[in-house]
Amino acid sequence: MALVIEGEERIAAPLQKVWAGLNDPDILKDAIPGCKSLEKKSDTEMAATVVLKIGPIKATFNGEVTLKNLNPPHSYTIQGEGKGGIAGFAKGGADVTLTADGAGTTVLKYAAKADVGGKIAQLGSRLIESTSKKLAGQFFSTFGEKMGG
């Protein structure tokens, strides 16, 4: 089951700082909802453990995060895939673009795609869609607060 989520976040920080944050595992870990660990394996690969509750199902996902299509400091694609054992799998990605907007403000736009399978996919598209939108919104607003704070 696939879905698309789009959004925009105004961040009170200069473009270079926001770009650096998007590539910093510590900042990403703090911004990813339910993230227990995020370890850098290379400049473009990280290993992640995320605990999520979707409806009645709580699962720990172990997976990979990969950065692709890097165009510093303006855009990249972040992709992730996680396996949650009996709960199923989740994979997705987001195209992220940054635009400088006036003195020290950056506009971050994202278009995310998510796909789930297994037990989670049986929960129904409305629940999965609302949860996915909430998680994406939480990630980008938390990230924005960390960068602008």
Domain layout of the chain by residue ranges: 2-148
**11-19 mean pLDDT:** 96
Q: What is the pTM of this model?
A: 0.89
The gap from C-alpha 22 to its chain's centroid, in whole angstroms, comes to 10
Cα distances (Å, whole numbers) of residue 123 to 35, 74, 83, 98, 100: 22, 37, 17, 34, 40
Q: How many helices (H) and strands (E) does the chain have?
A: 3, 7
27-68 pLDDT per residue, tens? 999 999 999 999 999 999 999 999 988 889 899 999 999 999
Q: Hey, which CATH number is domain 2-148, 3.30.230.10, 3.30.530.20, 3.60.150.10, 3.40.640.10?
A: 3.30.530.20
